[in-house]
Amino acid sequence: MGRLPVPHLLANPAVAEMLTRAVESGVTRAEAHQLMAECGTDLLVAAAGRIRDRARPGAVTYSRKVFINLVNLCRDTCTYCTYKKEPGDQMLSMMDPAQVLAIAEAGKKFRCTEALFVTGERPEQKYEQAGAWLRSLGHSSTVDYIREMSELVLEKTGLLPHTNAGSLTKKEMVMLKDTNVSLGVMLETSSERLMGKGMPHEDAPSKNPKVRIKTLESAGELGIPMTTGLLVGIGETPEELVDSLLVIRQLLEKYGHIQEVIMQNFAPKPETGMARFPPASSEYFLRAVAMARIIMPGTNVQVPPNLNPDAFGRYIDAGINDWGGISPVTIDHVNPEFPWPSIESVQKVTEGRRRRLRARLPLYPEFLKGGFITSERLLQQIGLIADSSGLVREDYIND
């Protein structure tokens, strides 16, 4: 599962000219591959920053959230994952409605606006314990239970649900559309090679790129705002990384529903199959972030600050305009080894890069337009906490 090194290269005149065109008018597939392979990192980062300043000149945003770890049993096994738990594990989470509501209510006190529902992939298909738990709550599937909990949280607290439950069918997304302002599924990679024997996704059928892309396509057909992104450094080649970004761009161009591209750097975790696999190098990841902006000039590009606690400011230079969800209440259950920095420290770093920090909803402002949200109760709640720009009212946060 080796990763090709990316040397610090100086751009030749032809590549420099290509980079100039990229800033002005975007890149083709061939140009994207050549820039990733041949352009110097400093030039690549500077170009990405210029593109961001032109296309997304406003504040750098974040979503103030609670992380609701509904159930962390999962039918998949990814060799880098510590989120998945087995029956009997002391960290197993199978939350009842009272537990869900308690977290949401705590979030409301801290002026959170997002209720992030995260689950393992269809645990009821592998674990009888999960099926019995769902039946005891009156449900036959995890998605049906998410629908009920989304209703509960929205009604009782006003927090806006956003669900990341892995690959979903069109019917399942319809079930969630009335209560979730957006949904999420990480593509991670478009490389089917990483499904092979001894590779990270060998025992994770839902991580098949075809399955993930189908979920994203179905969401586009339904007009549901989607969050997606890549996990960088899990064994993909630079060429495969660029191709993965181009797959997302194609979906964005076809449906217009990709609201955000998250770039996450792989970090090895103890007691996993990839515990001794090298982390994504800082330069390789920086180049990947810059390429995301160059390939998709106008979209929202995010890097979670907790995964790079000592250096996350550099990603503003590389073209990001969002930090993702930050919680003053709950941990990052997917990456518990990496606590979120305080919002105050993120603000300090952001302002140090001469950008304002603003809280957003789990729905970006541009997606309030164009008919993406049709649920009257969602629109009503958004109206209570959003300002005229579509971001969270500053007096709401500071009240």
Give the pLDDT confidence score for residue 371 in this predicted structure. Answer: 85
pLDDT digits (tens, 9 = 90+) for 210-222: 999 999 999 999 9
* pLDDT at 2 exceeding the cut of 70: no
Give the pLDDT confidence score for residue 17 in this predicted structure. Answer: 86
**Has residue 265 been placed in a domain?**
yes
Give the pLDDT confidence score for residue 11 in this predicted structure. Answer: 53
At 59, is the pLDDT very low, low, confident or very high (cuts 50, 70, 90)? Answer: very high
* pLDDT at 266 exceeding the cut of 50: yes
At 5, is the pLDDT very low, low, confident or very high (cuts 50, 70, 90)? Answer: very low
Cite the beta strand spans of 96-206 per DSSP E: 114-119, 160-164, 182-184
Cite the beta strand spans of the chain per DSSP E: 60-71, 114-119, 160-164, 182-184, 226-232, 258-265, 301-302, 322-326, 357-360
pLDDT digits (tens, 9 = 90+) for 66-83: 999 999 999 999 999 999
Q: What is the CATH number of the domain that holds 198?
A: 3.20.20.70
Give the pLDDT confidence score for residue 285 in this predicted structure. Answer: 98
- Percentage of the chain exceeding pLDDT 90: 90
**Has residue 57 been placed in a domain?**
yes
Give the pLDDT confidence score for residue 3 in this predicted structure. Answer: 42
264: its two tokens: 């996450």
Q: What are residue 358's DSSP bridge partners?
A: 61
* pLDDT at 30 exceeding the cut of 50: yes
- The domain of 321 spans 52-398
pLDDT digits (tens, 9 = 90+) for 325-364: 999 999 999 999 999 999 999 999 999 999 999 999 999 9
Q: How many domains does the chain have?
A: 1
pLDDT digits (tens, 9 = 90+) for 279-333: 999 999 999 999 999 999 999 999 999 999 889 999 999 999 999 999 999 999 9
**Has residue 179 been placed in a domain?**
yes
**Has residue 27 been placed in a domain?**
no
At 23, is the pLDDT very low, low, confident or very high (cuts 50, 70, 90)? Answer: confident
The chain-wide mean pLDDT, for the chain, equals 95
**Has residue 256 been placed in a domain?**
yes
Give the pLDDT confidence score for residue 10 in this predicted structure. Answer: 52
**Has residue 7 been placed in a domain?**
no
Cβ neighbors of 188 (< 8 A, separation 6 or more) are: 201, 207, 212, 229, 230, 231, 234
Give the pLDDT confidence score for residue 188 in this predicted structure. Answer: 98
226 SS3 class: strand
**Has residue 29 been placed in a domain?**
no
**Has residue 11 been placed in a domain?**
no
